Structure 1
Amino acid sequence: MMKRFFPACAVLFTAAVAPALAAPASPSASRYFAIQVVDAATGRGVPLVELRATSEVRYYTDSNGIAAIDDPEMMEQSVYFSVKSAGYSYPKDGMGYAGVALKVTAGGKAVIKIARDNIAERLYRLTGAGIYRDSLLVGAPVPTKRPLLNGQVTGQDTVEVTPYKGKIYWFFGDTNKPSYPLGQFDTSGATSLAPGAGGLDPSRGVDLTYWVDPSGFSRPMAPPPHNGGPVWVAGLFTLTEHGAQHLYTHFAEVDHSMKMVHSGLAKFNDEKAVFEPIHTFDISNALRPEGHPFLASDAANNYIYFQPPRRGAFPLTRTIADEAHVTDPATYEAFTCLAPGARVSGRDTPMDRDAFGRLIWGWKRNTQPVGLDDVDELVKQGLMKREEALVQLRDISTDATVISHGGSVFWNAYRKRWILITTQMDGSPSSLGELWFAEADTPVGPWTYARKIATHDHYTFYNPTQHPFFDQDGGRLVYFEGTYTDTFSDVKDFTPRYNYNQLMYRLSLDDTRLSLPVPVYQFRQDGVDGYGAREQIDAGKLWSSVERIPFYAAPPSRKPSGLIPLYVTAQGLQTQSPGDGAKPLVYVLPAAPAESEKSSPGVAPLYEFRDDATARRWYSTDAQAPGARRSSEPICRVWRNPSSILALDYAVKPVLEKP
């Protein structure tokens, strides 16, 4: 995708400037007045920007950020356009209006620069009608082969995608068409060529080739329904056995109330280009493929990880990565706090605790995973405390809890951590349209501090997933998409063409706003306490010696502004360098906050404690500890650990797949 359709100066430019404007696709192109809205920082066109005239006529920029105007009543007039786009902003004038007056002329053009408030960058729409409609009307170049209508798709729900046999395979939920309000509800499918193998660079777009029926409309790809209800797929993955690669997915049939009535596993038939059922699952058992799977291995096995339903975006189930195990729920493991083999059963739920009463989270075979709803029930029944929950996701700015609805977790080579992109449940201003980023040292966590990366202004943006096969610059650039829809929202005015379709975003992981605190581990080796972030623990192979996470801090690999180094010395932890080229353990906040600092409630002083009986020294954000003396002054300030458990999955490493 081009960065800019025509040049601009300062905020906007309205004179006719011919050199940058491509030759019109037809003589009618000269009748349009072209407005391109661009990101002020990058110059790239911004999709989904509303331009509203004082007559309430509205235009929405296409995936090049272009709006084509040919309203006769506006020609040769100075027309005021308000400028609005979720996650972006335009300066307000003295009367509080965010917009600009432009002289509208046939064949004329203007650029409007807007500031991106989102951390994530909106790139383009992947599905639906008129993706580059306005660009074609004004004769601007477009990157895709079918820029107006592809597979007769006007709307398309949740994506599942994976590389398979040299291409990228895409599957979508319910699909709308131009010819009737009801489309098809048994999963749509398409392929694209991989970047570098004939496919577009993901920054420009994705050229989807749909499987279609004789009428040209995107055809069903899932097994035929038993009872006539929609058939949705989830948990798309590949397995290679005996030298052959196969594509699998979980499929679910739902009734008119969207309740699942049938569940199974299907394998893709390459010749027929359709999924065929090979196994039936018990719909009451969460041990089945779901979500956005990935492969990871330990010293003994290759595993495939899944996200169990209604448990947020977290990979809490797994099984050995072969067809025999995937089709046998009894072989699945859940990362759970229940006793082995148990299910949540109200007050009688068997919990797994050690001799000291500590809750044991770990991989347990044929045991129910525990999600947020389950935690609520177990807390209500007095079987666990809130701080014993596995997931403690919270806003880095306010320390408010962030409830994950859907999303994905994948290994990121740039951060050398597992990263999460998720939609928040009960968010604001969008109840189901706020997107968050977090990272963890192991697939199951600790998931603690998160940063909002995108908002959708009361609109829904659900089921986002990363596309790790699109990662660029060593994982620094991450691509993700999700469904932009009015569903589950309070909006009454739907966005033309964009509603119920897939939007692609890009996230730059070197953005300093994504420098989030990470766990600092306390380990004990040869009777001596030590401290380290993931970098030091990995290097020393110390995971089995880790005892607790006393606090969080910025990792040694990145130093946000305003932080100071914290060192490990023979005298303990200190902020003064011991010299001799000592490297910081982590970066922390000074003990005394600056006057201008906006500190989060999650920030707390870090104190040194000494046990009078054993002379053992340790560090904590607690105000006091029984039987120990606390330093009179804090060493520094850090981010507190809201969890009372230690739950890690450090033995596995990612298995990286390529398209």
Structure 2
Amino acid sequence: MKTAARRCGAMRLTGGMLALLVAKAAIAAAPCRIEVVDKENGWPVPLVELRTTSDIVLVTDNAGLIAVDQPDLLGREIWFGVAGHGYGVRPDGFGSRGVRVTPKAGETIRIEVERSIIAKRLGRLTGGGIFAESQQLGERRDWKESGVFGCDTVQVANHRGRRFWLWGDTDLPFYPLGVFDSTSATTSLRPLKRFEPPIALEYDYFRNEKGVPRGVANFPGDGPTWIGGYVSLPDGDRPPKLVATYLKIKPPLDAYEAGVCVWDDDAERFEPLRKVWTKSDATPERPLMPDGHPAFWRDEAGKEWLLFGNPLPNFRCPATFAGWKDAAQWERLEPQRSIKSIDGADVTPHTGSIAWNEFRGRWVTIFMERFGKPSAFGEVWYAEADAPTGPWGPAAKVLSHDNYTFYNPRLHAELTDAKSPVLLFEGTYTTLFADHPQPTPRYEYNQMLYRLDLDDPRLAGTRGNSAKETADERK
């Protein structure tokens, strides 16, 4: 019996030693956990690059995390250059912006960065590996990959109790050519419960029989089909109609056909309603048509209008399906060509959207500047107006990029409470039209979401003298 007891004890000891060895091996094999946070509020910061002196580039995921497991980086002092499009660290005596740390397996390093932009980065909405670094660290294992690697130019509309999302050209994992007739998905009307990082927005994509996200505007003709002017409209006593404008495109970016289309709720795809224009020697330019981003507006006489613009309104029609499809009721608007900045400089809007904002009691716009600095198409501004037709301004720059593009910004006024000071907007983050930048792994050609706090003192100058305030002063 003593021998048996000794054997049992030896087995327990051996088992305990084995468990300890396994635990030690797991710790030794675990990556170093680097977390990058905003020094002001402690929020994790997505899209911050750490670059070694050997040009290894590591990028934070939506949780602000990086998993370091490279043998040449572990257990020795490493210099990481820090860059984050509005987030960074102060330069040292030689002008280098970075940190010196010693990554060790299984340990955590915290890097604080300072925010120089007014908008706050909430995270990436589309693409693969949104929580890739977290998952490598054993976290966020419940996150499901969408099967989309990249997409651009979001359109949104609330339709029949769901929020519909639509994107332009879409990259997929299995081949360089993806979907070129617009992918789409739905979510609940309020898919984000909080407006702090990390964010995790899960889309219910329209997929093909293989489960792959598919196009929803496969119209006849060569080249991609691009969808714009995406909006849900009342149709009398019938259910509302989800409608849009379509363009057919030939390489490189030549539109040769345009029309209007209607969503088939049963087939879950768009169907052409009417061709409006075909390019020819006699008609080289597109005629007036509903395009860009929509906004609803009731004029002083009480008439409800549907406005379209990109960013400022250049079109209006009655805010009904009947008014939208009847070209005889389409009217042209002339938006102002430039907006004065707070400092008095002229800023030329290129793309963006507008919305009524209850907190400010005015119309607001987020727009990308045409030929801005430092990025030609990566500088984003905010401005206000008493009416959607203007006058707009003064404007404040709220987001800047270091030689990268951020185009087609879209406001998400419906995602927050009416009187909330939080304004959300997203745009496409891409190397297109920039000066030979290095693409950011996973983030390239995807949608980024930002938060703008409208009670930020740096936006006080955008109030300017509204038309109402000017009239009161004259009295």
Judge same fold: TM > 0.5, yes or no.
yes
Deviates more, 1:91-100 or 1:485-494: 91-100
The structural deviation recorded for 1:240 is 1.6
The structural deviation recorded for 1:442 is 0.5
1:159 to 112, 129, 154: 154
Q: Give the corresponding residue for 2:113.
A: 114
Encode CA deviations 1:511-550: one digit per residue, 9 max, x unaligned.
01111242355xxxxxxxxxx517x76xxxxxxxxxxxxx
Amino acid at match of 1:518: G
CA separation of 1:271/1:199 partners in 2, compared to 1, >3 Å: closer, same or farther? Answer: farther
Aligned residues of 2:337 and 2:349 also touching (Cα < 8 A): no
The structural deviation recorded for 1:493 is 1.4
The structural deviation recorded for 1:183 is 0.6
Q: Is 2:74 aligned against 1:75?
A: yes
Amino acid at match of 2:469: A
Q: SS at the partner of 1:281?
A: strand
Q: Give the corresponding residue for 2:266.
A: 271
The structural deviation recorded for 1:30 is 5.5
The structural deviation recorded for 1:201 is 3.5
CA separation of 1:511/1:323 partners in 2, compared to 1, >3 Å: closer, same or farther? Answer: same
- Superposed, 1:311-330 pairs within 5 Å as 312-330=310-328
The structural deviation recorded for 1:101 is 1.5
Encode CA deviations 1:317-350: one digit per residue, 9 max, x unaligned.
10012222212222111224xxxxxxxxxxxxxx
Amino acid at match of 2:320: D
Q: Which has the higher helix share?
A: 2
Gaps of 5+ in 2: 1-22, 279-284
Q: Is 2:413 aligned against 1:451?
A: no
Q: Give the corresponding residue for 1:506.
A: 451
Where does structure 1 differ by over 4 angstroms across 4 or more consecutive aligned residues? 27-30
The structural deviation recorded for 1:156 is 0.4
Q: SS at the partner of 2:227?
A: strand
CA separation of 1:268/1:473 partners in 2, compared to 1, >3 Å: closer, same or farther? Answer: closer
Q: SS at the partner of 1:217?
A: coil
Q: Give the corresponding residue for 1:343.
A: none
Aligned residues of 2:117 and 2:400 also touching (Cα < 8 A): yes
Amino acid at match of 1:445: G
Gaps of 5+ in 1: 1-23, 337-370, 372-389, 522-531, 538-567, 574-584, 586-659
CA distance in 2, matches of 1:456, 1:404: 16
Q: Is 2:465 aligned against 1:519?
A: yes
The structural deviation recorded for 1:506 is 0.5
Q: Is 2:194 aligned against 1:210?
A: no
- Which gives a bigger RCO, structure 1 or 2 (Cα 8 Å, sep 6+)? 2
Q: Give the corresponding residue for 1:294.
A: 295
The structural deviation recorded for 1:449 is 1.2
Q: SS at the partner of 2:223?
A: coil
CA separation of 1:75/1:520 partners in 2, compared to 1, >3 Å: closer, same or farther? Answer: closer
Aligned residues of 1:119 and 1:507 also touching (Cα < 8 A): yes
Alpha-carbon RMSD: 2.2
Deviates more, 1:116-125 or 1:236-245: 236-245
Q: SS at the partner of 1:406?
A: strand
Aligned residues of 2:338 and 2:349 also touching (Cα < 8 A): no
Aligned residues of 1:250 and 1:290 also touching (Cα < 8 A): yes
Q: Give the corresponding residue for 2:331.
A: 333
CA separation of 1:473/1:245 partners in 2, compared to 1, >3 Å: closer, same or farther? Answer: closer
Q: SS at the partner of 2:134?
A: helix
CA distance in 2, matches of 1:94, 1:285: 56
The structural deviation recorded for 1:285 is 4.4
CA distance in 2, matches of 1:327, 1:306: 14
Aligned residues of 1:172 and 1:188 also touching (Cα < 8 A): yes
Aligned residues of 1:194 and 1:200 also touching (Cα < 8 A): no
CA distance in 2, matches of 1:511, 1:262: 44
Q: Give the corresponding residue for 1:619.
A: none
The structural deviation recorded for 1:400 is 1.9
Aligned residues of 2:261 and 2:272 also touching (Cα < 8 A): yes
The structural deviation recorded for 1:258 is 1.6
Aligned residues of 1:47 and 1:124 also touching (Cα < 8 A): yes
Q: Give the corresponding residue for 2:20.
A: none
Aligned residues of 2:207 and 2:213 also touching (Cα < 8 A): yes
Q: Give the corresponding residue for 1:350.
A: none
Aligned residues of 1:62 and 1:134 also touching (Cα < 8 A): yes
CA distance in 1, matches of 2:403, 2:74: 34
Q: Give the corresponding residue for 1:395.
A: 341
The structural deviation recorded for 1:473 is 7.0
TM-score, length of structure 1 as denominator length: 0.64
CA distance in 1, matches of 2:113, 2:243: 43
Amino acid at match of 2:290: P
Q: Is 2:183 aligned against 1:188?
A: yes
Q: Give the corresponding residue for 1:408.
A: 353
Aligned residues of 1:392 and 1:448 also touching (Cα < 8 A): no
Q: Give the corresponding residue for 1:487.
A: 432
Q: SS at the partner of 2:178?
A: coil
Deviates more, 1:468-477 or 1:416-425: 468-477
Encode CA deviations 1:477-516: one digit per residue, 9 max, x unaligned.
0110000001111134111111100000000000011112
Q: Give the corresponding residue for 1:533.
A: 469
